[in-house]
Structure 1
């Protein structure tokens, strides 16, 4: 009799085959006298389509909603049907004594395995011993052999299967029903999902915040002090304020402060020097790698995932990329030591600040079995022999630098804060001196700002005092990096204290494996557009979120809080303390209530989504933002510009949405049209890469720069 081992992917099956000396390769499996090793390719089975339960659900109609089958069931995934046939045949062999489930250690891995066991009707063979191989550590031979020996009863992990099944079923019921309801009632094709719609709401709310932002003017006063040992630039601040202490609300107050300081000496009242230290950042999870690759290279989350997956599957030089862990298991120490030796021979410069003492199991920043999840953190497994300036090379290099950085010396620096007083007015200057660059050498370094060596009580007249007028700035557009950050760490987006705790833990919007796909789905649905590194909600996405938020029941889908509550329920089920039946009853009731709500709602199709299903929808609404200064017709918002409605008749007035790398909002364009000029705008970038500020003004029939005049 034989033992069958079921893995989640071919590469893991190969690791098991190597560790167990199973050398005979069959059709979709390995085999020896003792073992059979076969594999899934992700989800070989998927939930059936609505019409597979009842033909009435094939047609999209309000009359047939909600779609609530008594029990959701599975059908083969057409893309992997061949491997499903292989796995089923192996599971149904007559010579099996034991089945060891070795899919990924988590609820999705459990779901993949259990659906296959059900599909093969293993329950009809109670004499087969069902065991669970469970580890999140690197699959070395020792780890595989030890965990096979210690495999526990599969029944101990039923709770994870229940959580995975509940998550999958809830997403299917919500997506199938709400997508049809929105599509039919709003007159355009809409996709609604438990997680994707909450992420869309983040982007929609950010766009609203930017478009509705009204800049508030304020002043800052800069003082230049000339001491014997050098010049000191210091900023006035209100010592009674903790936030925005240097902001002065109006010119009257700024003028009064300048008057109070006129003709008086400044005196150094305080010098504080603090030695500070920053430990290295942790190893990369997929999301952390995606964030940095987006910031440095403009790679989309999907591009980074694809590159990392290629480095893992084909080049064999990176570990499994779809991981949310930022630590390694203690069993990885020997592998880490060997890899560092290889890397030092190839990348000697990276090891300038290497700290041998950190290469220890006592270093819990790196080695921590308690914080392992389905997979360990990203790490290099071999030397990459391609071009480091290629896209693959850039991703590999980021992983290598982070891998070496975690074993490098801490970044140490001295921060100096000097406070001067002129009469009763206080000024502050801060500086930084690097003591040990440490790991920051591998992260782009850091800058120093030197202050003159002063002593308390030293006096000097302010050789210059000036009040600078500034404006508050709108929120930044979401980049993929900042969106991924909020998806992975959305505690600031929720109000309830318990939910903040959940989101500060392991719960986020989506998973490491799905976040890139969620973003790509929003883009493909035309809910969102990508502008360089930024993601901006489009009118169709705005219309969906706006419609949902008007509905007392369905509005929860546009709320990160509700995703948190569902994830909390699923987490409780996975831990064994939640009730999967109660969870699904609540989901089914929610879907039924949403259907009633949408059917009764009087919804007017939005301008951005007014086309009937099956016809081509407008790409952009005809939103009027002002009157053309030349032909007096309306200025409308288009995908890439704000332009005159009479452009076909020859009027060429246009305000481009991106000017010198800076996004121009509808509110800013409206002000240019109305006043002939904008407020002072910051963040333009020249062809040479220099950032500058300027006004945008209408000159003849064009919008041009007007630069700040030197006094």
Structure 2
């Protein structure tokens, strides 16, 4: 019997749908017509054991126990999934062949591998187990994936990478959370001061941005524009470019802070000849943006629709599992396998059938066009999020599902449209010894722009100009502006910060390493981390902005900088990626972490949590009052002896 183990019931049903019929729906699995079975996990069936599972003494939080680092790691069943684990145990024992059908990512690989190992599959079954990678739940795509099975042992490095992440997160989060919560209690704060290798640097980003805004002092600055006129009476504006002599009067971004200097320039250029010293015009082409990764989709949906990262993920999951209109959503890739180009016609047909309003773009779409999105070298376990070939009525979709599906459709169709082309013109002028610049952007071919841009294309033009042409500056215009503080984070900008975390890394060497592999958290976890900060009361929403609470600020102030900046955790992601590529080992990753943990625990012992946190403590949990039994106490004070005896007999009989 072949046993297919899917990550979720929805994936199991999709697999069974293309396998031999008739099907018998059993408790926790589907029996196929040929005797094979398809079963499933319910997400994680197992979880890391608690500290108390290693040693009962670890149940109360005491500083002398830290750091807690298991010698041998343990997993335990989740309380609500024990029955499904029992089903899988029996099926694995009865099977001759296993097929791993976890989601096509690091977490999905480990999730099913852990179950197979925990339930005691034989060495032979583990060695011969096969792996199916399914990113589209439509029957044709599932069949193709089942016809391309790989050995599951090929994915051991990916599973090892996920295992290292899981264990590292456990020892880092458990130990530092206990250490700082214990210190917090000394100051009268009775809540949990949660610390994590992703959540804490993420909170640090928010806290530092808030403080940067709080401490910002606005300053006026000045820009000068010359009104330039041709002999034919046509006029245009040219912006003054301050010379090196003006640097003492400029800020670090080159803005002029001295009003008198700007006024002096205006006085000098009025009525003066303007020499056109250089004129350049280039035809530029802009290709359509690539299809979406999850983070890219979350960022765009936040900008367009104000959706939170979690809402986008949940919506994508529904479009993938329930409606089968999108491919696998937890993807960090924006590229597609080259062989998928053969399906382009079917996908475009499904899109324009489902989304009638997009039919107007069909004359501009050439399915034979192959954009840079199709690139095998850029695709690993999963590819970009794109629409499937399923044709369906969209009446069953809610508003958010409709918005996300249409957005993914538009970005896919854009791959088959002409590039956006425009003429970029730059005129350099000399007026009274000063340098002035005029630019223009003239659209020549709209290409994909109307499909993705609701505001259309920007246009700015200059009159016909030639180098050496006689021009005159009729007057100067002074624009007084004020420097603006950075903006508070929103869902879109915080996600962008997490995916491009190298911009926030201080160390130049680390920043260089992270240029290609940067990322705070993973595609699957970023939305959850943002929500976790709200749950912990470390951040709060004010309109569309995300702000740190007093508790969040106080926690960041107490922690060492290394725990609050993204350098360490971003390097973790880089190292975990190297494990999956077999460029480094599990032990090489874990050993330095455990050594560093001893240092961090020692540092935490010296920390003094501010007394102000006491007033911010969460209210104490209400204890349930147990009602006294009305039964009389038996003589001799041995109440319940008979009941205890019955329980012990029952235990023996089972």
- TM value normalised by structure 2: 0.85
> Which structure shows the bigger proportion of residues in helix conformation?
2
Taking the TM superposition and a 5 Å limit, the aligned residue runs for 1:664-679 are none
Give the corresponding residue for 1:72. 73
Deviations along 1:185-206, one digit per CA (max 9) or x if unpaired, are 1334211111111111111111
1:594 counterpart residue number: 600
Determine if the alignment matches structure 1 residue 353 to structure 2 residue 350: no
Distance 2:508 2:255 in 1: 31
Q: Confirm whether residue 231 of structure 1 aligns to residue 235 of structure 2.
A: yes
Alignment-derived partner of residue 407 in structure 1: 416
User: How far off its partner does 1:305 sit?
Assistant: 1.4
1:466 aligns with 2:477: yes
CA distance in 1, matches of 2:132, 2:84: 23
Specify the alignment match of 1:165 in structure 2.
Answer: 163
Match of 1:39 in 2: 40
Q: Which residue of 2 aligns with 1:305?
A: 313
Paired position in structure 1 for 2:206: 203
CA–CA distance in structure 2, aligned partners of residues 393 and 150 of structure 1? 32
Where does residue 175 of structure 1 map in the other structure?
173
Check if 1:257 corresponds to 2:265: yes
- Confirm or deny that 1:511 pairs with 2:522: yes
How far, CA to CA, are the matches of 1:487 and 1:472 in structure 2?
26
Task: Check if 1:570 corresponds to 2:570.
Answer: no
Counting only pairs closer than 5 Å after superposition, residues 238-253 of structure 1 correspond to structure 2 as 238=242, 247-253=255-261
Matched ranges for 1:69-468 at <5 A: 69-93=70-94, 96-123=95-122, 126=124, 130-135=128-133, 138=136, 151-186=149-184, 187=189, 188-227=191-230, 228-238=232-242, 247-345=255-353, 346=356, 347-358=358-369, 360=370, 363=371, 365-381=372-388, 382=390, 383-386=392-395, 390-444=399-453, 445-468=456-479
CA distance in 2, matches of 1:148, 1:232: 64
- Measured at CA, do residues 405 and 239 of structure 1 come closer, stay the same or move farther in structure 2, by a change above 3 Å? farther
Tell me: CA distance 1:504–1:489, structure 2 relative to 1, closer, same or farther (3 Å): same
Preserved contact between residue 501 and residue 570 of structure 2 (Cα < 8 Å): no
Match of 1:30?
30
8 Å contact kept, 1:351–1:404:
no
Aligned with residue 560 of structure 1, among 547, 562, 566: 566
Question: Within 2, Cα distance between the matches of 1:498 and 1:101?
Answer: 39
Distance change in 2, residues 1:418/1:50 (3 Å) = same
Q: Secondary structure at the match of 1:386?
A: helix
Q: 1:500 to 1:134 in 2, by over 3 A?
A: farther
Does structure 1 residue 494 correspond to structure 2 residue 494?
Answer: no
Map 1:507-546 to 2 at 5 A: 507-546=518-557
Q: Describe the superposition over 1:11-61 as per-residue Cα deviations: whole angstroms up to 9, x where unpaired.
A: 332333233335413322233335222222221111122222222222223
Cα distance in 1 for residues equivalent to 2:393 and 2:504: 40
* Distance verdict in 2 for CA 1:18–1:604, change over 3 Å: closer
Separation in 2, partners of 1:435, 1:388: 38
1:605 aligns with 2:610: yes
Q: Check 1:380–1:265 CA distance in 2 against 1; reply closer, same or farther (3 A cut).
A: same
Q: CA deviation at 1:557?
A: 1.8
- The farther-off stretch of 474-483 and 30-39 is 30-39
1:548 to 547, 559, 564: 559
Q: Which residue of 2 aligns with 1:656?
A: none
Q: Spell out, residue by residue over 1:516-568, the C-alpha distance to the aligned partner (whole angstroms, 9 max, x if none).
A: 1100011121211222222122222121112113xxxxx32212111122223
Deviation of 1:484 (Å): 0.8
Alignment-derived partner of residue 590 in structure 2: 584
Q: Distance in 1 between matches of 2:277 and 2:397?
A: 52
SS where residue 42 of structure 2 aligns? coil
Q: Where does 1:639-658 land on structure 2 (aligned, <5 Å)?
A: none
Q: Where does 1:53-68 land on structure 2 (aligned, <5 Å)?
A: 53-68=54-69
> Root-mean-square deviation (CA), in Å?
2.8
Aligned residues of 1:137 and 1:332 also touching (Cα < 8 A): no
Q: How far is the alpha carbon of 1:232 from its aligned partner?
A: 0.6
Tell me what 2:652 maps to. none
Distance change (3 Å), C-alpha of 1:412 and 1:150: closer
Normalised by the length of structure 1, the TM-score is: 0.79
Q: Distance in 2 between matches of 1:29 and 1:184?
A: 46
Alpha-carbon distance in structure 1 between the residues aligned to 2:222 and 2:507 = 36
Query: How far did 1:147 drift?
Result: 6.0
Contact 2:559 2:604 in 1 (8 A): no
Change in 2 beyond 3 A, CA 1:145/1:380: closer
Aligned 8 A contact 2:319 2:401 in 1 = yes
Change (3 A) 1:387 1:581: closer
Compared with structure 1, are the counterparts of its residues 239 and 97 closer, same or farther at alpha carbon in structure 2 (3 Å cutoff)? same
Q: Report which structure shows greater RCO (CA 8 Å, sep ≥6).
A: 2
> Residues 80 and 505 (structure 1 numbering): CA distance in 2 closer, same or farther, change over 3 Å?
farther
CA offsets per residue over residues 486-533 of structure 1, 9 Å max, x none?
211222222445533443324411111111110001112121122222
Q: Please, which moves more after superposition, 27-36 or 274-283?
A: 27-36
Distance 2:40 2:56 in 1: 34
Q: Deviations over 1:46-78 (max 9, x none)?
A: 112222222222222323333233223111123
Aligned length: 602
Deviation at 1:338, TM superposition (A): 0.9
Q: Distance in 2 between matches of 1:434 and 1:582?
A: 54
Q: Per residue, is there more strand in 1 or in 2? A: 1
Secondary structure of the residue aligned to 2:595 is helix
Once residues 611 and 428 of structure 2 are traced to their aligned partners in structure 1, the CA distance between those partners, rounded to angstroms, is 57
Question: What CA deviation, in whole Å up to 9, does each residue of 1:169-193 have, x standing for no partner?
Answer: 1111111111121122133421111
Distance 1:246 1:56 in 2: 62
* 1:623 paired residue number: none
Give the direction of change, closer, same or farther, for the CA distance of 1:602–1:608 in structure 2 (3 Å limit). Answer: closer
